[in-house]
Amino acid sequence: MLRIAVGQYSDKGRKPGNQDAHGICIPKEPLLATKGIAAAVADGISSSEVSHIASASAIRSFLEDYYATSEAWTVRNSVQRVLNATNAWLHAQSQAGPHRFEKDRGYVCTFSALVLKGSVAHLFHVGDSRIGLIRNGTLEWLTTDHRTTVSPEYSYLGRALGIDAYVELDYQSLNAQPSDVFVLSTDGIHEHVAPEFIVGMLADGRGLDNAARLIADEALERGSPDNLTLQLVRIETLPEKEAAEHVRQWAELPAPPLLEARMEFDGYRILRALHGSSRSHIYLAEDIESGMRVALKIPSIDLREDASYLERFMLEEWIARRIDSAHVLKPCPITRQRNFLYVATEYVEGQTLSQWMRDNPSPDVETVRGIVEQIARGLMAFHRLEMLHQDLRPENIMMDAHGTVRIIDFGATRVGGLAEAGGHGAPERMLGTVQYSAPEYFLGEVGTMRSDLFSLGVITYQMLSGRLPYGAEVAKARTRAAQRKLRYRSVLDDLREIPAWMDAVLAKAVHPDPWQRYGELSEFMHDLRHPNSELLGKGPPPLIERNPLLFWQVLCCLLMIAVLVLLAGRTAP
């Protein structure tokens, strides 16, 4: 597990009151694994009579609200949202007070925070408080002071919480190591104490609380006129990657046997098998207590010794319980203790989109729009929680008898908040189906929301045309040069009534370069119904974009011809 030792000290020093604030939260599991440990210091500006309220509010709201954010969000997203809200509140308080035109007399404070999640340290900073790292006997300050110096006698804060309606936060992350000591301090400490003294106080074997007090005493003795606040956070142990809470859960449950019809299993009666593959087995079952029909998914027999597979299997239910959308498969409520490893979800009576396409080879455009819009709403529910589906394909989409569309499989889903817990490493191996996977996955890159958009664009194209926009060429293009040679085939033909302007929409959605695609699913949805004038006027991209090498080769040839013509003209009699 992640374990730390902490030392803290705060005093008003030579000032009449203490405008600093500090705090730390060390939660229990499962929050320790999913959100980590958070520590922060804040320093109210001395020119304001209310800045102590600002610093105390910033610390309190950070430590409370950060742990209320979604477990699926990354640390960076969670903290930035919390601090943006805190900054907006502080600025609003200043604007409502008598000093709304005097920034140095409002609800303003500096802020520096450390979040330790897994083996990664996340640093957030604005103002002139600091975060430093002691490693191998040396203290290195990791943050930059946002203080502008006008003269030796006058300087001011360029950035801080509450100064403006919007705040720009510095962010960085680094891999932590056992015995690392993070130092969080306000300027009353670090402007008057040498780094060597701080390191020496920790090297003497004193307790961290005692060391923090002695460092503050040194700052006071050296003439510090400011408040004195210091936090020392030492890494005792770091968690192993496989020690996350969701992994421990599956390790404690035995895998179930293969199930058969009329068999009773963990409170369910098996009715029949629905699907079987090398990845899993799915059964239609009836809850004996409630009579409700459910779908039971159990792990594949062949992969039960594969730890990464079992982790992903357990994650499917974790993901499903955090997404609330009519277009995403819902898990069944847990009403009794589970004795085996399986996933129970609602049973959708209908057909996959793949089967629907075989039954409807020439659907009208409006029907396709309606299906795509429902899939997009399901994807948006994933993206709001910083989740990427990564395996969107017709076999993973169900349509019930009423025409409601649901995304049903989350085996390849990437959860931002969990992915970062393992530290900085290589991108995961590609888990999606190659025909629908975005080209960037074949380069070994981590996907983005635009990658899911590519998959949706391919599905839309296939419903309208019965084929894929690049055939099987995307999976073969394993370099950027090869991907630049991919040529989009128009969806238009003589057999289908498809508006010509929709072809440009699909071409943009499935562009090999993710930065040339739509940035948001909502933009794609809008353009599927409304002609986009910016796309209508576009011809093929210029040669320099399509093939830069050929462009320069042609240009060199033309220049050579021009030189030869000029030389011939000069030598002619």
- In this prediction, residue 241 carries a pLDDT of 52
How high is the mean pLDDT of the chain?
87
Domain 245-346 sits in CATH at 3.30.200.20
- pTM here is 0.70
| Residue boundaries of the structural domains of the chain | 3-239, 245-346, 350-539
- Ranges of beta strands (E only) in 98-176 are 109-117, 120-126, 130-135, 138-141, 147-151, 154-157, 170-175
User: What is the signed CA dihedral for 486, 492, 498, 502, rounded to 10 degrees?
Assistant: 30
Give residue 426's pLDDT: 37
Q: Are 82 and 61 in contact (CB under 8 A)?
A: yes
Q: Which residues, in sequence order, are CB contacts of 93 under 8 Å at separation 6+? A: 50, 106, 107, 162
**Residues 42, 59: contact at Cβ < 8 Å?**
yes
314 closest CA partner among 275, 341, 333: 341
Q: Among the residues of 412-542, which ranges form H helices?
A: 416-419, 449-465, 473-476, 480-484, 500-509, 521-529, 533-536
Q: Give the per-residue pLDDT at 545.
A: 62
Mean pLDDT of 10-34: 90
* Beta-carbon-side half-sphere exposure of residue 297 (alpha carbons within 13 Å): 23
355 in Cβ contact with 407 (< 8 Å)? no
Q: Encode pLDDT of 480-528 as tens digits.
A: 999 899 999 999 887 788 898 999 999 999 999 999 999 999 999 999 9
Quick one: pLDDT band at residue 396, thresholds 50, 70, 90?
very high
Compute the C-alpha angle 533/536/542, nearest 5°. Answer: 120
pLDDT higher than threshold 70 for residue 253: yes
CATH architecture, domain 3-239:
4-Layer Sandwich (3.60)
367/380 Cα distance (integer angstroms): 20
Q: Which of 240, 245, 226 is nearest to 185 (CA)?
A: 226
Structure confidence at residue 422 (pLDDT): 54
Rounded to a whole number, what is the largest CA-CA distance in the chain?
Answer: 106
For 203-246, the pLDDT digits (tens) are 877 789 999 999 999 999 999 999 999 999 999 998 865 444 44
Q: How far apart are CA 315 and CA 309, in angstroms?
A: 10
424-438: burial string, b at 16+ Cβ within 10 Å, e else: eeeebebebbebbbb
- Distance (Å, rounded) from C-alpha 305 to C-alpha 219? 58
Dist CA 407 CA 372 (whole Å): 11
Please give the Cα distance from 280 to 269 (Å, whole number).
19
Contact 416, 120 (CB under 8 A): no
Lowest mean pLDDT: which of 56-60, 428-432, 453-457? 428-432
Higher per-residue pLDDT: 231 or 304: 231
Residue with tokens 């409006």: 366
Q: Give tens-digit pLDDT for 417-434.
A: 777 665 433 345 556 678
Q: Element (H or E) spanning 266, and its range?
A: none
Q: Domain 350-539: give its CATH code.
A: 1.10.510.10
Q: Please give the Cα distance from 523 to 507 (Å, whole number).
A: 14
Q: What count of other Cβ atoms lies within 10 Å of the Cβ of residue 303?
A: 17
